[in-house]
Amino acid sequence: MKPSFLLVFLMTIVAAFADDAIKIVSPDNTTTLVVDKSGKRDLIALRSGKIRHRLFYEDLDTLFRAKLATAFNASLNKVGKVVLPTFKSARWISPEEVEIKGESTVIINEDSGDDFGFTAVVSKTGKIKDLSITPKDER
**What ranges do the domains of the chain cover?**
19-138
Q: Which pLDDT belongs to residue 63?
A: 86
Per-residue pLDDT of the chain (139 residues; tens, 9 = 90+): 455 555 455 555 544 455 578 999 999 999 999 999 988 889 999 999 889 999 988 778 888 999 999 999 989 998 988 989 999 999 999 999 999 999 999 988 878 789 999 999 999 999 999 999 999 875 4
Q: How far apart are CA 53 and CA 63, in angstroms?
A: 15
Contact call for residues 62 and 112 (beta carbons, < 8 A): no
Backbone angles phi, psi at 44, to 5 degrees: -115, 125
Q: Cβ(84)–Cβ(41) under 8 Å?
A: yes
Per DSSP, 84 falls in state P
End-to-end CA distance of the chain: 60
| Long-range CB pairs of 66-73, under 8 A, 24+ apart, other chains included | 67/131, 67/132, 67/133, 68/106, 68/108, 68/116, 68/133, 70/133, 71/116, 71/133, 71/134, 71/135, 72/106, 72/108, 72/114, 72/116, 72/135
